[in-house]
């Protein structure tokens, strides 16, 4: 009985724990963590603040080139003195920017067009972002169209190639390259300074 046990033991001695599968297990764990970990990329709406002015007067903008977007504390939108709503902004911005001097109420040319966004002190940030997002989306749609066709809305050609969308065009640019789409149709969004009065 004891001899049998001894025999068995001695037989097992040369059999080590297989370590080759350890690597597989570690790989499996690594892959699991790779898949589950989302590297936190900061996403948001990029803006550039106007520089602090030395003199009081900002450059004058012709009335027809200016699209005033006013948002009050209850989220009601005033577009150039007309009552409106958030979902109308995108269309309105597009008509304003791409007017090319046709309608005297809208802009002379896309590069002259300015969108001015102004809020109440009590406006919730959420609504401000909603409105800003609509304005940005209006521009993004215009840019997407340019990237897809290679031409400006006026018919002028800007890009030698066409792209799936504006994002794809941006990715094709090197760090030194200029964004021709953005240059030919600049995005003028003015985040108006708050009134000191109210």
Partner 1 sequence: MASERFQKRSSDTSPGITTASLPDIIFMLLIFFMVTTVLRETEIQVRTELPDAEALTKIDQKRLISNVYIGPVIRGPREGETAVQIDDALIEEYSAIRTIMYNQLQEEPRLIVSLRIDRESEMQVVNEVQQELREAGTLRINYSSNPAVNQ
- Given the rule CB under 8 A, which residues bind partner 1? 19-20, 22-23, 26-27, 30, 33-34, 37, 39-52, 119-126, 128-130, 132-133, 136-137, 139-140, 191, 193-194
- Closest separation in Å from C-beta 159 to partner 1: 20
Task: Kindly tell me which of 48 and 55 has the beta carbon lying closer to partner 1.
Answer: 48
Phi/psi at 28 (nearest 5 deg)?
-60, -45
- Closest separation in Å from C-beta 38 to partner 1: 11
> Torsion over CA of 160, 161, 167 and 172, rounded to 10 degrees?
-80
Supply the Cα-derived Rg of the chain in whole angstroms. 30
CB 157 within 8 A of CB 150: yes
Distance CA 94, CA 176 (A): 30
- Closest separation in Å from C-beta 69 to partner 1: 13
> Which residues sit opposite 189 in a β-bridge?
115
- Closest separation in Å from C-beta 6 to partner 1: 27
Task: Kindly tell me which of 10 and 196 has the beta carbon lying closer to partner 1.
Answer: 196
Task: Kindly tell me which of 115 and 132 has the beta carbon lying closer to partner 1.
Answer: 132
Task: Kindly tell me which of 1 and 23 has the beta carbon lying closer to partner 1.
Answer: 23
122 in the Ramachandran plot: left (φ > 0), alpha (ψ -120 to 50) or beta? alpha
């Amino acid at each position: 009985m004891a001899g049998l046990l001894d025999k068995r033991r001695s037989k097992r001695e040369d059999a080590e724990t297989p370590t080759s599968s350890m690597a597989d297990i570690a790989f499996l764990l690594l892959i699991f963590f790779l898949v589950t970990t989302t590297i936190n990329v900061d996403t948001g709406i990029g803006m550039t603040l106007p520089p602090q002015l030395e003199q009081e007067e900002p450059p004058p903008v012709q009335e027809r080139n200016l699209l005033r977007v006013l948002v009050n504390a209850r989220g009601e939108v005033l577009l150039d003195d007309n009552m409106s709503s958030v979902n109308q902004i995108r269309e309105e911005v597009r008509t304003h920017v791409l007017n090319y001097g046709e309608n005297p109420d809208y802009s002379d040319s896309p590069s002259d067009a300015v969108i001015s966004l102004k809020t109440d002190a009590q406006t919730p940030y959420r609504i401000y972002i909603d409105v800003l997002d609509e304005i940005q989306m209006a521009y993004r749609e215009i840019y997407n169209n340019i990237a897809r066709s290679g031409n400006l809305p006026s018919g002028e050609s800007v890009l030698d190639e066409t792209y799936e969308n504006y994002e794809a065009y941006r990715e094709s640019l090197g760090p030194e390259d200029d964004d021709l789409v953005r240059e030919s149709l600049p995005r003028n969004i003015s985040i108006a300074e708050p009134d000191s009065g109210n």
